[in-house]
Amino acid sequence: MPIYTFSCRSCEAIFEEQMSISEYGNNKVRCPSCDSKKIDREYILDAATISNSVRKSDSELKTIGDLANRNRDKLSDDQKDALHQKHNAYKEVVPDKPLPKGMSRIKKQPKIKWPSRNRGK
């Protein structure tokens, strides 16, 4: 279920509520501090945390991609950079270990650009 951010006009408290879209439309939200119904939706705060505004529980995850996206959203930028470097470090390493006599390293072939076919003409 989505998590919405609200602010109270009476006591100026900012709070989050987890509710379905149908519950959101019923205007049943009250301030937890002063129990006032004079509240405003804080769209800017939700937009700042757009990746965290909709969180899926374990039972709502349908694919491995949903799980990967949820875990990715939990990572900081520094953690994402470290993970990227870890997984791409092997591409930049030149093997310095000598090969046995009579062997050579296979050179990487250039990519083949396949011509596009004009179909239907």
Can you give the pLDDT at residue 53?
A: 47
Which residue ranges in the chain fall short of pLDDT 70? 1, 24-26, 44-57, 92-94, 118-121
pLDDT at 49: 57
CB 4 within 8 A of CB 46: yes
pTM > 0.85? no
Structure tokens at 108: 């990487």
- Mind listing the pLDDT tens digit for each residue in 44-76? 666 655 545 456 667 777 888 888 888 888 888
Cβ contact 46:18 at 8 Å: no
